[in-house]
Amino acid sequence: MATATQDTAGLGSARLRLASSVSVRPEAFGALLYDFRTRKLMFLKTPRLAAVVDLMDGALTVDHCLDAGGAPPGERAALLAVLDHLLGIGMLRHAPTPKD
């Protein structure tokens, strides 16, 4: 599993999804993520970040989610760092590889 300190360069090709224990509550500022297993609460502080996380169902790569969520090139490094952190604390998980 990735950690929050790992280089995020390879994260763009990963397929991620929310952990099954995590619930999302949309808010005007972005969203709240709550993990019922660990009782961790995370604030997604922008609507763009919330949109990107909302797209992560395991079918699309992180890069595709960033594109579909409207992430401009100048924000991608910061968004990847947040996604890497969410992966590191277990709120995001790697999705199973799709079978052809």
pLDDT digits (tens, 9 = 90+) for 12-23: 999 999 999 999
**Entry pTM:** 0.86
The CB-based long-range contact list for 69-75 (8 Å cut-off, 24+ gap) reads 75/48
- The answer to whether domain 9-91 has CATH 3.90.930 is yes
Place of tokens 């009782």: 39
pLDDT band at 54 (very low <50, low <70, confident <90, very high): very high
Q: H or E segment at 76?
A: helix 76-88
What token pair was written down for 94?
A: 């790697």
Length of the chain: 100
Residue 3 and residue 49 in contact, taking contact as beta carbons nearer than 8 Å? no
